[in-house]
Structure 1
Amino acid sequence: MNRLLNFSAQVRNTKLASAVRNTFTLLFPIMLLGGFAETIKFVFLNKNGYMSQMFGIYQWFPYDKEIGWVMGVIFHCTIDMIALYAAFGIAYYTAKEYQKEGAIAGVVGLLAYLIVSFQPLGGGIPNFSHFLMSEGMLFALVVGYFSSRLTISFEDSQIDDHLKIILPIFIVMLLAALLNLASLSLLRLEIPTYVASFVVKHTQFNALLYVLGMGVLTNILSWMAVGGPFSGSPTFTDTASMGNMNAALKTGNSWNVPYKYTDTTLFHSFANFGGSGVMIALIIAILIFSKKKRTRDVSHWSIFPAIFNNHYAMMLGIPVLFNPVFLVPFIIVPLFNMIVAAIFISLHWIPIAAYPVPLGTPGPLIAFIGTNGNWLTLILGAFLLVIDVLVYWPFVKLSDRISQKAGEINEN
């Protein structure tokens, strides 16, 4: 255990890990404000939002459309473009780790990622890939890091001072353009969410295995800052969800709907409390068990958006992204929740979430509202949340110990 602790602490103090950590520190306030703006816009000011429907905010709140517009602008310029800031940050801090000029490296990293994500519309109108901008942080970190390393490698060369800047920029632009060409082909093959068609065409058991597998894949990709097949909010508009809702409306309940195991009935209803990895459980575990002031402060700031399933601030602030300490619970906790919920559904102890829920409905309430107010479903959600907090507990303590050990190594 001590060897693992020492190794983790040493890795944490490497130049790359330090640059990534500093980048996340830079991005945290951007993502936090974006999370607040997204929550206010879609949950409070949208007529389909949870709080808006509960209190009728859209009917009596003055200037709701104007404020919603402002929140939308902030959201689109923060969360929807977060990878762009990540490319600049990692390039800047990588250069700083090697005691080189950070501003030039940061701009080169920014330029490289703009070129990679560029996708012009008809008539040559500038446009950028929404996927790469909002869900491509992993790619942004890779592009920014290598752009920075290439840029600073020329600073110690014997060539003319002007060429020390022009040559790396030219090489980076050329390589980025080639990556752009490759990305255009790959993005045409976007990972599709075949849940509805698979569920409709296969047996319930195969559908269950598929949903569990896609749920695990979604959380792994989320941990890697890449959007997964279940990353979006439940829509209740796919074939399986529509079939379930029609059956529930005909019979007056959702006990015997045709498609019991879907992303909506399992993943979104029981495995997405506070966002990917059951983030609300991690927040609670940190507030109860962690001794680190910074971690607790991040959790306090992140509570508001996390209640409405917005996990972005926590992913960067702790950070959870690329953090091996939290990888295991980040995957196991949602998987455990889905398996338990599937058992309860198969035994007919709880009905299936078949009714649509408002945007931003708090995670533990999705199944409750989706089953038209079944109290056992709500109790199950609360029970799972308690178990989830207990699962995160030892990993929170381990994270504290690694941070403490890393500080000791750094001092030595």
Structure 2
Amino acid sequence: MDRLLRITTKVYSSKIMRIIQDTLKMMFPIMLLGSFAEVIKICFLTPTGFMASIFKITDWLPYYRGIAWVMVVTFHCTIDMMALYGAFGMAHFTAKMYGEKTSIAGAVGLMAFLIISFQPTDTGIPNFNSRLMSQGMLFSLFVGYFCGRVTAALVNPKKDELFQMIKPVSVVIVFSAITNVLLGFMGKLDAPTYVASFVTQHTQSNALLYVLGMGVLTNFLSWIAFGGPFVNSPTFNDAPSLANLNAALKAGSSWNVPFKFTDTTLYHSFADFGGTGVILALIIAILIFSKKQNNRSVSKWSIFPAIFNSHYSMMLGIPILFNPIFLIPFIFAPLINMSIAALLLSIRWIPAAAYPVPSGTPGPLIAFIGTNGNWLALILGIILIALDVMIYMPFVKLADRTSEEAGNEDEEI
């Protein structure tokens, strides 16, 4: 732990990490409101949503469609465009660290990422790449940093000449155009599809290792702000899930489904409580063990969206992104959960989650509802949450020590 403390203190004292922290802090309130909008729309104002299904909200709430539309717009302009804010903030704070033209640098970073994101579509009409906008934050941080450094290098802060911005803007436009072409070429290769097909073909005989590996990969990629293969909510409409559902409907239960080890039966049912990395357990651990007021405030604000598996505010507010302290529990807590669940599935202590669940179902209830109300699945979920809290506990305390070692003031966001 002492070695991890030294590494984290050294990392957080670097310029690049201070820039990233300032960027994430700037984005936190935007993503928090986006998380609230996402949860309200999916869980409360969608007829198939979890809370809407229980309380029949869409039957008695007047103007619910109008309210839902406002939530959709808010979500798409915040979380769904997360990378845009990352590019702006990174360019802004990079220029602030190395120069003075901060507002202009932010605009340049925003322009660069917009140019890069404008990609060809299947219809032949170019449009902004929604996947790059929502899951390309890591890439946007690189773009923003580049734009900030170029602006700081080519602009003389002592001169107040408007035309001296032509040089950095020209360099950035050329860089963005080249990057756009390269990404378009890579998109035509459709490499992710080939990789996914290859992995699927070579892991059919060992589905458990595939799910565990993809779960670890998802959590690691989420930690570096890059999404992941299991990052989306369970849909129950992929081939294994449909096969499981058909078998469960024919037999009247999900004890003997053909695919016991899938992302739905393991990852989403037992390792996605509050979002990737079992964020709900981290929130509980912080509220119980942390003395850092900033982390406690962020956790309190993030409880509501995390209950319904929206983790964005915690990822940026603590932050968890790029934080060496939380990398270990962020990856291993879900892995332990999946391993325990797989063991119990193998020895037939619990059935597999084969039945569809409402949109936005809280993580600990997915297995319970997906098994058609198996109480052992619910008890297992509660036990795993408690175990995850204990896994996070020493790292939460270490995060408090890191703040003290670095001499950081306990500022509220």
TM-score, normalized by length of structure 1? Answer: 0.94
SS at match of 2:373: coil
Q: Which residue of 2 aligns with 1:216?
A: 216
Shift of 1:216: 0.6
Q: Which residue of 1 aligns with 2:173?
A: 173
Shift of 1:202: 2.3
Alpha-carbon contact 1:200-1:259 (below 8 Å) kept: no
Larger mean Cα displacement after TM superposition, 116-125 or 311-320: 116-125
TM-score, normalized by length of structure 2? Answer: 0.94
Q: Which residue of 2 aligns with 1:154?
A: 154
Shift of 1:11: 2.3
The 5 Å alignment of 1:81-100 reads: 81-100=81-100
1: CA distance, partners of 2:255 / 2:263: 17
Alpha-carbon contact 2:98-2:149 (below 8 Å) kept: no
2: CA distance, partners of 1:402 / 1:47: 45
1: CA distance, partners of 2:158 / 2:383: 66
1: CA distance, partners of 2:175 / 2:287: 45
Amino acid of the structure 2 residue aligned with 1:355: Y
Q: CA RMSD in A?
A: 2.4
Shift of 1:59: 1.1
Shift of 1:161: 4.6
Aligned length: 408
2: CA distance, partners of 1:270 / 1:191: 26
Alpha-carbon contact 1:94-1:149 (below 8 Å) kept: yes
Larger mean Cα displacement after TM superposition, 149-158 or 207-216: 149-158
Alpha-carbon contact 2:43-2:49 (below 8 Å) kept: yes
Q: Which residue of 1 aligns with 2:133?
A: 133
2: CA distance, partners of 1:324 / 1:197: 29
1: CA distance, partners of 2:332 / 2:70: 38
Q: Which residue of 2 aligns with 1:275?
A: 275
1: CA distance, partners of 2:44 / 2:153: 50
Amino acid of the structure 1 residue aligned with 2:101: E
Gaps of 5+ in 2: none
Q: Which residue of 2 aligns with 1:358?
A: 358
Distance 1:93 1:244, change over 3 A: same
Q: Describe the superposition over 1:118-176 as per-residue Cα deviations: whole angstroms up to 9, x where unpaired.
A: 12569996621111100000000000001110111012499995553101110110011
Amino acid of the structure 1 residue aligned with 2:204: H
2: CA distance, partners of 1:157 / 1:334: 49
1: CA distance, partners of 2:123 / 2:93: 37
Gaps of 5+ in 1: none
Distance 1:366 1:2, change over 3 A: closer
Q: Which residue of 2 aligns with 1:198?
A: 200
SS at match of 1:26: helix
Q: Which residue of 2 aligns with 1:41?
A: 41
Distance 1:190 1:378, change over 3 A: farther
Q: Which residue of 1 aligns with 2:75?
A: 75
SS at match of 1:287: helix
Amino acid of the structure 2 residue aligned with 1:136: G
Alpha-carbon contact 1:117-1:180 (below 8 Å) kept: yes
2: CA distance, partners of 1:233 / 1:292: 32
Amino acid of the structure 1 residue aligned with 2:373: G
2: CA distance, partners of 1:159 / 1:73: 41
Q: Describe the superposition over 1:271-300 as per-residue Cα deviations: whole angstroms up to 9, x where unpaired.
A: 000000000000000000000101000000
SS at match of 1:191: helix
Amino acid of the structure 2 residue aligned with 1:130: S
Distance 1:355 1:248, change over 3 A: same
Amino acid of the structure 1 residue aligned with 2:241: S
The 5 Å alignment of 1:330-345 reads: 330-345=330-345
Shift of 1:8: 2.3
